[in-house]
Amino acid sequence: MGSKKRVQLLYSYTFITLLFLIIGFLVLTCGRDRFKKVNLSKEKVIPKQKVLLRPSTLTRKSSSEYKHIMYDGVVQSKKLEKTDDFLDQDAVWIVDPLAYNCEKELIPEIKKRLEKIPTPWKIIFLDFSDMGRDYGPCFYEIKNSLFKSGKYTFFARRAFYSEERNINFDASDNEKTNFHDLGEYIDWDSYFVEDDSQEKLLGGLVQPLRYSIRSDFADAIFNITSTMGITYLPDSYRRHGAIHFWNVKVDYDDPNKSSTLRNMVTTAMLELAEENDMKNKGIHAYQVGTRENTGRRNVQEGYLKTMLSHKIVVVSQRDYWEDHYRLMEALASGALVLTDPMNPLPSWYQDGVNIVVYRNLWQLKNYIRYYLNHESERLKIAKAGFELAMSKHRSSHNMERLVLGNWNLPNFGEFAQYGSIMDISTSTKN
């Protein structure tokens, strides 16, 4: 074989060898990349946290809080999963002590579980009662007798900062007198049970419990706005100025209904509506729809449409207790919301940023006048309040914070920034 042919063969073998090496490298690289992608996709699948509700099922007698906040919040969450297996070692228990008797139902069930699985687990108690109930003896037995530790029991309630709240108006008060008797601060780090045992109730692991946007209310907003062709609620046309949903004569002669503040707010707004510069501004104060159980359990179309037609919604609480559904309903409507003081406001709400707090009747009137005459400022606060409500205060968001959040930190720490994805088209601007 000539030298020329040998050189050509050598080049051919070399070329083929390099070609095979390149092909092998590419195959290995692509396979490795594909493996990485598969692994990454698997890493993104996070198992849901199991939750056992007590009571476990919805009935006709279930409270609106249990249905709209606890049950819907867990079932509709992307991070939580309802289970009915009380022996499930991965489940967190959430208990409504108003509906599930501690001594007759809860403690016997805990004892039964401990007989089979002798290790404590996380139990969260949600007290939706207006002024807070005394569950001290029950918590004390669970913590000290059954679990022998306080790190598994958690407690959230509406009456968080204020005890003995009693909004009232003295004869010497005038429009500029701030609302008083808002209650006293509760020092949870030194909150003792009734038997004077000097044992802390829950070691300070107590958080405020606030209402969320009801799932049926959010669905009703979506349906109405879709029908009306509204893409972003805060920017929608609103023909009226401000409204407070309360008739001054309602409960006026019944002090047990604790309506002093609400009656005074309605009276102040009706007076404002008669002032010369406000007569054509659409200032209203009246009841729409049915109150109490019917209103709490069902969305009333007339009430919702009336809310959507006003630029400002004024809300006021009962004299003796704090929080109510209307606050979040108003924020979800895209209106500017004015509220009397709350201790505390719902998580991440700040006066003048995404909500406006009026502390007396003079402030209330002047805030309404100011924001109806300053459209851009009204819209800025209304949009911020709406976005926060829809992104952080659906029932699923609240239940996720309670189950997955850090109870040792305000607002459950930083967890809330990872709240579940908004799934209502009116919650984000197109």
Q: Is the pLDDT of residue 35 over 50?
A: no
| Triad 297, 330, 282: Cα angle to 5° | 120
Angle between helices 361-373 and 375-392 (to 10 degrees): 110
What is the DSSP code (8-state) at residue 411?
Answer: G
CATH of domain 215-427: 3.40.50.2000
Taking the C-alpha atoms of residue 314 and residue 336, their distance in angstroms, rounded to an integer, is: 8
Res 298: pLDDT = 76
Question: How many other CB atoms are found less than 10 A from the CB of residue 322?
Answer: 24
Say whether pTM exceeds 0.85. Answer: no
Lowest mean pLDDT among 172-176, 201-205, 238-242, 333-337: 201-205
Alpha-carbon distances of 101 from 66, 106, 132, 347, rounded to whole Å:
15, 6, 15, 30
* CB of 313 closer than 8 Å to CB of 367: no
> Residues, the chain, total?
430
Local confidence band at 291 (pLDDT 50, 70, 90 cut-offs) = low
Taking the C-alpha atoms of residue 326 and residue 244, their distance in angstroms, rounded to an integer, is: 10
Residue 113 host element (H or E): helix 107-116
Question: How many other CB atoms are found less than 10 A from the CB of residue 430?
Answer: 6
- What is the per-residue burial (b if ≥16 Cβ within 10 Å, else e) of 63-73? bbbbbbbbbbb
Res 132: pLDDT = 78
pLDDT in tens, 372-383: 999 999 999 999
Domain boundaries, the chain: 1-45, 49-208, 215-427
* CB of 394 closer than 8 Å to CB of 340: no
AA identity, residue 81: E
Res 299: pLDDT = 80
